[in-house]
Structure 1
């Protein structure tokens, strides 16, 4: 299976998960340990601090996944990197849902928190766009096509992560369906 097909299938799955996010909310429940800890934390009710927490958690998840994938390149185990990427997406979505459920402030402050926290992926997207625009061959006659394809895939992934983080953390309705 080509990486482009995997990326396309992943985008479609993220789209459907975003549309059907209610089961995720019901899966966590109101007595979740992390939700109750964050609800009781005084610092978490400040949207700047909560946004920086989200920013740092997004960075930790992203860079730990990148490090794990880099380490896996030294082993000849096929398709494990795809499993790592899927688990990273699932962990990110659950983190975003937990943060949404723990937030007790106003909707406006929640959106400010999300803007600060999800800006990690926006910054990555902008950096990748800059890399694509300034892409030059390393040596005369170097073909930059494959590097450009990788950068474009990175732009797609980070943009989808930005939008998904914004939706799951900022616009998830906290009411449960029975």
Structure 2
């Protein structure tokens, strides 16, 4: 499991350092070009709502892969991380408004991660032992890992979307 986690971290770092090359890939420019002619490219409420929905859909996909497929964590790392980065690159490339409105769009879209952190905190605070003497330390470890991964995803999303295009 540690090797898979380290491989995912290295894979994410490689993708982040090569994001300018990925942004110029034809399908990213084609998708973002189609969105540039819509209200999605300059209205931060609509774009933020779509980004919120995209983050929720990507999280749901990762959840389904992780828990319902054998060897889901390996497949999830190989699929969900690049898919998330490509989605965030499309949102970066399609934006035509001001940088201030782009920050607002990212804050609205990444509020999904804040809601998820809030839900995890509520769930952890209301967690009770299943039987007397149940060790709650593993629940705490899961909570801490969830907070770390969610904060990391939110930070990477902000980093990718808020970078300068050229």
TM bracket (short chain): 0.7 to 0.9
Residue of structure 1 aligned with 2:142, choices 128, 138, 150: 150
Q: 1:126 to 1:8 in 2, by over 3 A?
A: farther
Distance in 2 separating the partners of 1:174 and 1:24: 12
Asked if the contact 2:42–2:97 (Cα under 8 Å) also holds between the matched residues in 1, the reply is: yes
Aligned residue pairs, count? 166
**Residue number in structure 1 paired with 2:165:** 174
Distance in 2 separating the partners of 1:43 and 1:35: 10
Distance in 1 separating the partners of 2:123 and 2:4: 23
Distance in 2 separating the partners of 1:29 and 1:89: 17
Residue of structure 2 aligned with 1:49, choices 46, 50, 62: 46
Please, which runs of 5 or more residues in structure 2 have no aligned partner?
none
4+ aligned runs moved over 4 Å, structure 1: none
DSSP 3-state at the match of 2:24? helix
Distance in 2 separating the partners of 1:128 and 1:58: 17
Asked if the contact 2:42–2:96 (Cα under 8 Å) also holds between the matched residues in 1, the reply is: yes
TM (norm. structure 2) is 0.86
Q: 1:71 to 1:13 in 2, by over 3 A?
A: closer
Distance in 2 separating the partners of 1:88 and 1:57: 12
DSSP 3-state at the match of 1:125? helix
Query: Mean Cα displacement is larger for which, 84-93 or 142-151?
Result: 142-151
Q: Which string of whole-angstrom CA distances, capped at 9 and with x for unpartnered residues, describes residues 28-47 of structure 1?
A: 477x3311111011243200
Please, which runs of 5 or more residues in structure 1 have no aligned partner?
none
DSSP 3-state at the match of 2:110? helix
Distance in 2 separating the partners of 1:117 and 1:162: 10
